[in-house]
Amino acid sequence: MKILPVEIKSDLKKPKLTKSFHSFLEKYKPKNGLILSETLYQEKNKIKFRPIFSVAKEIL
C-alpha cells in the first residue's frame, strides 16, 4: 500500500512543515509527501511543495 500524505496551505511563502505533518512522516515513513499552496513550487528532502493547480500531475 502506497501512502501519500497531502497537506493544503492557503498562504505558504516558503517551504515549511507543520508539526502534525512532520509527526505523520515520522510515524508512517512514506516515500514522499505533497504540500499544496497557491504558488510555491519547490522540493525539500522528500517533500514536494506544489501549486494546487498542479495536483493532478503530481498524483497521477
pLDDT of residue 36: 94
Residue 19 covered by a domain: yes
pLDDT of residue 47: 96
Q: What is the pLDDT along the chain (60 residues), one digit of tens a residue?
A: 788 899 999 888 899 999 999 999 999 999 999 999 999 999 999 999 999 988 877 776
Which residues are within 8 A (CB) of 1 and not within 5 positions of it... i.e. 6 or more apart? Answer: none
For the chain, how many structural domains are there in total? Answer: 1
Residue 1 covered by a domain: no
Q: Write out the residue range of the structural domain in which residue 37 sits.
A: 6-59
- Global confidence as pTM: 0.86
pLDDT of residue 60: 67
Tell me the C-alpha distance between 16 and 18, whole Å.
Answer: 7
Residue 12 covered by a domain: yes
Would you state the cell numbers that stand for residue 39, as one nine-digit string?
A: 504558488
Q: Contact at 8 Å (CB) between 49 and 41?
A: yes
